[in-house]
Amino acid sequence: MEVKVLVDNNTLIDRYFLAEPGLSFYLNDDGHEVLFDLGYSDIFLKNAEKMGINLLQIKDIAISHGHLDHTWGLEPFVRRLNEVQFEHMPPRRPRLIAHPQAFTSVEGEGSNEFGSLMSEQKLAKHFDLVLRRDPVQLTPRLMWLGEIPRLFSFENKQNFGRKEGESHLDYVPDDSALAYNSDNGLVIITGCSHAGICNIVEHARKITGISRIFDIIGGLHLMNPDASQLAGTLDYLGGLELEKIHACHCTDLQSKIALSSRVKVEEVGVGLTLSF
C-alpha cells in the first residue's frame, strides 16, 4: 500500500505544496484508491493534482471524524464533482464511510460551527453513504475501525462543545481510524485520535487479531497534554516495540520530543509518500 500526505499542518522541506491545520491522506492499496479525510479547504485537491492524483476517480472516502479540519474539504469536493459533470465528464460516485454522528452539527467554544458544513441529506446526493458504528473492510488488508471503545482513563479527556440536539458534552464518539495489515504488522492511520491513540491501537488489535504494530501515522491529539495522558501514552506506545511513528497534525513539538525517547519519530509533511 502507498500513502501520500495531501494535507498536514506542514510541508516537507523544499516541497512546494500548500499546508493548513488539517489532515488528508491518499491511499492506494493494489489499485483500490481511498481518500482519508479532506482537510479544511480545497488544498487537498490542489496538492493531489500537483502529485498527479485524480481524486475524481477515487473509490472510497473514509472519514476519521466530523470536525472542520477533516471534513470542510467536502464542500469544494462536491463543487468539483458537479463542475466536471457540467462538462460531460462524469466522475466515479464514491462510497463515503463514516460514523453515524460524523455529520451532526457541533457547537464548539468560541465557534458557532465546529463540525461538518454538509448534512447527511446533502451528502447522500453525491456519495453512497455507509454510516456505521461497526468496522468496514475497505480492501482485504485495509479496514476502517468504526467506533472506538474508550478503555484507558488517561485518554479522551477533552470535550468539544455539544453536538446538535444533545445536552451532554461531545467527547467525539465518531472518532475512528484505519488499520492496514502489512507484511510487518499493523499500520495505524489516524486523523486526530480524539478517542485516544492507545484506545485506537487496542481496538485495531482486537478486531484484526494482529498484535504486532509496525507504524502509526497521523494526529495523536497530544497538544499540551496533561502529565497523566503523556505518561500513559509514552508507556503504552513504548511497550509496542514500534518500528517508527509518523506523528503529525495535532501533535505538538514537546510531545514529539517526548515520544522520541521511546520510539523513532519520523518527519511528516505534505508531499510525504510512504510504502508498506
In sequence order, the 6+-apart residues with CB closer than 8 A to the CB of 260 are none
Is 119's pLDDT higher than 90? yes
Confidence at residue 45, expressed as pLDDT on a 0 to 100 scale: 98
Which residue, among 123, 129, 26, 131, has the nearest Cα to 78 in the 3D structure? 123
Confidence at residue 90, expressed as pLDDT on a 0 to 100 scale: 86
Could you tell me the three cell numbers for 90? 462524469
DSSP letter at 55 equals G
Task: Supply the range of the domain harboring residue 26.
Answer: 2-275
Confidence at residue 272, expressed as pLDDT on a 0 to 100 scale: 98
Q: Which residue has the higher pLDDT, 110 or 274?
A: 274
Distances (CA, A) of 147 to 116, 156, 177, 190: 18, 13, 9, 13
Is 52's pLDDT higher than 90? yes
Confidence at residue 112, expressed as pLDDT on a 0 to 100 scale: 83
The answer to whether 180 and 226 are in contact (CB under 8 A) is no
Confidence at residue 167, expressed as pLDDT on a 0 to 100 scale: 85
Give pLDDT tens digits for 201-257. 999 999 999 999 999 999 999 999 999 999 999 999 999 999 999 999 999 999 999
Is 110's pLDDT higher than 80? no
pTM of the model: 0.97
Give pLDDT tens digits for 153-201. 999 888 888 999 888 999 999 999 999 999 999 999 999 999 999 999 9
> If you average pLDDT over every residue of the chain, what do you get?
96
The answer to whether 244 and 268 are in contact (CB under 8 A) is no
User: What residue type is assigned to position 66 of the chain?
Assistant: G
Confidence at residue 137, expressed as pLDDT on a 0 to 100 scale: 98
Residue 160 burial (10 A CB sphere; 0-12, 13-18, 19+): buried
Confidence at residue 108, expressed as pLDDT on a 0 to 100 scale: 76
Domain count, the chain: 1
Residue 247 CB neighbours (<10 A): 26
In sequence order, the 6+-apart residues with CB closer than 8 A to the CB of 215 are 187, 188, 242, 243, 244, 245, 246, 274, 276
pLDDT (average), residues 34-41: 98
Q: How far apart are CA 172 and CA 203, in angstroms?
A: 16
The answer to whether 134 and 196 are in contact (CB under 8 A) is no
Q: How far apart are CA 17 and CA 33, in angstroms?
A: 21
Is 111's pLDDT higher than 80? no
CATH value at residue 253: 3.60.15.10
Which residue, among 123, 53, 132, 109, has the nearest Cα to 81 in the 3D structure? 123
Q: Any alpha helices (H) in the chain, and if so which ranges?
A: 43-50, 68-71, 74-86, 120-123, 197-208, 227-238, 253-259
Confidence at residue 3, expressed as pLDDT on a 0 to 100 scale: 98
Q: At what angle do helices 74-86 and 43-50 cross, to 10 degrees?
A: 60
